[in-house]
Amino acid sequence: MKEKLLLLILSFIVLTATADQQAVIQKANTAYQAGFYENAAKLYEQVIKDGYASSELYYNLGNAYFKADKFPSAILNYERALKLDPSNEDIIYNLKVANNQIIDKIDQLPKLFYERWWESLKQLLSPDAWAVTTIILFVVFFIVIAIFLLSTSVGLRRVLLISGLLLLFVTGIFFIFAYETSEEAREHREAIVFEPTLPVKSSPEETGIDLFVIHEGLKVQVIDELTGWREIRIANGSKGWVKSETLVAI
């Protein structure tokens, strides 16, 4: 009873806080439809600045930036939207269109088949959806075990035991999915390049040798960080250092 009350209060707070934001979003949507893409982008950004976000909001912001020819910002926001809603077809499509506008086309390092399966399974649900399904499955597991303990029929007990163990296994996998997706979203291990032309250096210093050049809009993985510098890895596996301010984390 107490829990329910708490949840109610919490949702009430969130709703009242977002009423203002919803109005701003409506204004931004109108600006977008009228073709004032820069204004629309500013309004969407304002909502995010206030501390609220959703995959739809990031998607709309990405669209506004795309229409304003700011492709790196567009890609950044599509990627952020995709983090919250990994299976949304519109986001995937628009991200592909935006990626078509950037200069770098880097071949993906081929992944092993099980890695690919794992990644595509992981992208089926958003981090929160994974967390909720994990809890639901865990509850179902205990219900099955309770029925198992109460039942007297041997055949039923056998079926319940096997399905119970299976449920526990699946719950474990879902828990890992929930953990990985949330951690990835939280830790900002991916970033977008915002420098038109960015030489990637061999060491975190100005005098480092230029290893290769990447361009704005490219998604990179951040694997290490030093004061003012970030070590990045691009899709084909090449690594190097760039200045921190040239990247914006997803």
- Give the footprint of other proteins on this chain (CB under 8 A): 3, 14, 18, 21-22, 25, 29, 32, 47-48, 51-54, 56-57, 59-60, 63-64, 66-67, 69, 71, 90, 93-94, 96-98, 100-103, 105, 127-128, 130-132, 134-135, 138-139, 141-142, 145-146, 149-150, 178-179, 181-182, 185-186, 195-197, 199, 210, 213, 215
Q: How far is the CB of 37 from other proteins (least distance, A)?
A: 10
Q: How far is the CB of 42 from other proteins (least distance, A)?
A: 15
Q: Return the C-alpha torsion angle 102, 123, 54, 101, nearest 10.
A: 10
Nearer to other proteins, 197 or 202 (CB): 197
| Cβ contact 237:247 at 8 Å | no
Cβ within 8 Å of residue 226, ≥6 positions away:
204, 241
Q: Which helix (H) or strand (E) segment is 47 a member of?
A: helix 37-49
Q: How far is the CB of 28 from other proteins (least distance, A)?
A: 9
Residues in the chain: 250
CA dist 191 and 56 (Å) reads: 20
Token pair, residue 175, equals 């828990």
In terms of Cα–Cα distance, which of 146, 178, 150, 179 is closest to 163?
A: 146
Nearer to other proteins, 153 or 207 (CB): 207
Nearer to other proteins, 162 or 213 (CB): 213
Q: How far is the CB of 113 from other proteins (least distance, A)?
A: 25
